[in-house]
Structures are given as structure tokens and as C-alpha cells.
Structure 1
Amino acid sequence: MTTTLMTYIGPVDDHALVTRTGGVPLVPAGFTWPRCAACSGPMQFIAQLLVNAPGAQGAEAAAAAECVLSVFMCQNDPGLCDEWDPGAGGNRALLFPRAGLTPAPVPTEGETLLSETCGIDCTAIDAVPYHEARSNWSQTYGRPLRDVLGQLGGAPAWLQHDETPACPSCAQPMSFMAQLEEGRDHRTAMNFGGGGCGYVFACVPCKEGSFLWQC
């Protein structure tokens, strides 16, 4: 058994079609920047993930391999907009086909972009659970734990209880896609309550995404 860690590989272009945190989201035609249900302000774009659907087969697997998950979270009034909750409207995870994406127009108001764009490499480590794999990677490569930016696929390492969301379209449990750490530098990190983790889910057949965080 292995865990696929997402590890920091340095800065990348803000518009790169790669797995990254920060930068500008690549989006399909007709995209509207998501706004917070509580404060009505534009959300902050935090991560772009190139993903495959767990267990997908045949044509579904081919389509899933071409998916991009983009994660947004309100940071206009941190802590006041329930941005940790998957259903309160303070965050969004949007699932797009990979083909034909272009950089989104960024709103001129609000907290919309992170101050650092971090490129991510995916490294398979022979260890489960996630926290053990993270520690093993740090020791093997002689790099700080904070250079591990999360995991892609596998099983969520919950900091509290299991909060796997149900798909809003089909009501089935959504597939776990990624876990995000706050970041390698506290000055540019994402805000998951201070030392928290974000959890990204999707229902590929319904083209739905979901996000939450715990600390």
C-alpha cells in the first residue's frame, strides 16, 4: 500500500495547467467567480488539482483523468462565514473538464488570490496512514514536514470525526480526492484555522465537488 503525497517543488507560473496551490484558476467558458453566501464577497482561490476518479472504469475513467478540481474559500471575514463547512456556502470545489480551460478574470475587490503560487509533485510513499507517510518522506529526503502540502487520493486523515459529504445531486457519499495542508510558509499559507487540513471530495458522474476543513 502506498500514499501519494503532494510535495512542494518550487514556484510555478500563475496560469500553469498543473496541480498547484495559489495562482489564478483555469476555468471553462462562461465561468462566474464564486461568491460567499454569507458576506456576498468573492472567494479566495486556493488550489487547482488534476485528478482521477477512484474506482472509475472504461469511458468514465478516461473522462475522469481529464478533470480539474478548483477549490475556493471565503477569506473576506475569516471565521465569520462558516468557510469550514461543506454546505454553508463559504467555500466551493468546482469540477471541470481539463480541455479548453483559460485563466479566469479575477475580481478587483475582496481577498481572491493567495500571495504565493506553489508547484506540486506527486510522490508515492510506501506507508499508510498519511501522517506516517509524511514523516517517512521528510526523513528520506531530508526536507521539512511543511514541504508536504497534502495527499492526492487515498483515505482522509481526519483531525476530528469523519465528515464525508453526500453528493448534492445523487445523495451518495462523495469520493475523497485530496487533503491539503495549510502551506509551507505561515506568511503565505491558507487559513484552515491554524494547523488545520482541508479535504476535497467529488462525485464525478454528477460533476459535483465539495470542500471542508478541520483543525
Structure 2
Amino acid sequence: MQFLAHLPLDIGVFAVFVCQNDPGLCDDRDATAGANRAFLLNDDLSPAAVPAEGTTRLGAVAALRVHPAGTPTEAPVLGRLGGEPDWIQDDETPDCPSCADRMAFTAELEEGYEFATKANFGGGGRGCIFSCQPCGEAAFLWQC
């Protein structure tokens, strides 16, 4: 699985991973099929120590930043926090795997503009992060 996003929010830190099988035979649009995985972590995380030897640089990366609505920006806004999902197809809100309640919409991510750093959501798609705070569960799916 490939790391997709690290999103620190008031309720914790979300870490999102997606299947990058080549060819793409995994069911990576489904929040519960196992090809996506999101974690809701507590916010007392600390960065890992940088190794003294070996390759330590990342390839191309993009940075997600929280940007308040209604304020000017020069950078493109590639998603949103809270509210309701902007479904491209039918509503696919997942149920919590622990308590079976409908999960809360947390964030929406768009693909991006730079080839080297954009997510692959099927060309023009959107990814959605969901959470169940009482259970500490998170889920991710995308639609195009």
C-alpha cells in the first residue's frame, strides 16, 4: 500500500493508505474491501529519527495545509474539511467496522494538479475520509 495523506485535525491525526497494485486489480474505490486503509491516531505522535546512513530523502511530495474558507490564497484548494461529501456517484458512506454506526464525513481530497504528486482517483475523482470518534476508527474511499 502507498501512503497518501497525513491530516492532523482536532480529533486526531489521520493517516491514509491506498492500494497501488500494478495492474490495478485491487478494489481501491471501496472503503471496506481492504485496498484502502485509514487510521485515526492520537495526536501525541513524534517524528522518527533520521537514519545516520542510507537514503533519507523522499521523492516528490505535496503538502496539505488547512486554509480557512473565505480567505484569499494563491495556492489551489484541493479539498475541504467537514460538512457533507460531494458525491460524484451514489452515497457510499461506510459503517464503522466496530460499532456498525454510519461514519462521519471528515475530509475530502481532490487529485491535485502536478503529475508527480497528484493522487490517482481515476481522473478527476475525489477521495473521502470518514471517522467514528467513539471507536477511534477511520475509513477512506474515492469516486470518479
How would you bin the TM-score normalised by the shorter chain? 0.7 to 0.9
Counterpart for residue 57 of structure 1: none
- Percent identity between matched residues is 51
TM superposition shift of 1:148:
1.5
Q: TM-score, normalised by structure 2?
A: 0.84
Higher relative contact order (CA 8 A, sep 6+): 1
Counterpart for residue 112 of structure 2: 183
Q: Which runs of 5+ in 2 are unaligned?
A: 51-57
State the 4+ residue runs in structure 1 displaced beyond 2 angstroms.
Answer: 76-79, 100-105
Note if 1:49 corresponds to 2:11.
no
Tell me, yes or no, if the aligned pair for 1:70 and 1:93 is still in contact at 8 Å.
Answer: yes
Q: Equivalents in 2 of 1:161, 1:114: separation in Å?
A: 35
Tell me, yes or no, if the aligned pair for 1:45 and 1:114 is still in contact at 8 Å.
Answer: no
Q: Return the match for 1:124 from 43, 65, 69.
A: 69
Counterpart for residue 97 of structure 1: 42
Q: Equivalents in 1 of 2:86, 2:113: separation in Å?
A: 19
Q: How many residues align?
A: 137
Tell me, yes or no, if the aligned pair for 2:62 and 2:117 is still in contact at 8 Å.
Answer: no
Q: Return the match for 1:73 from 4, 11, 18.
A: 18
1:75-106 Cα offsets, whole Å, 9 max, x none, are 1325311111101110100010010333499x
Q: Which runs of 5+ in 1 are unaligned?
A: 1-42, 53-63, 106-112, 126-136
Counterpart for residue 210 of structure 1: 139
Q: TM-score, normalised by structure 1?
A: 0.58
Q: Equivalents in 2 of 1:114, 1:213: separation in Å?
A: 24
1:14-52 Cα offsets, whole Å, 9 max, x none, are xxxxxxxxxxxxxxxxxxxxxxxxxxxxx1111111223
Tell me, yes or no, if the aligned pair for 2:6 and 2:16 is still in contact at 8 Å.
Answer: yes
Q: Equivalents in 2 of 1:47, 1:95: separation in Å?
A: 12
| Root-mean-square deviation (Å) | 2.3
Counterpart for residue 29 of structure 2: 84
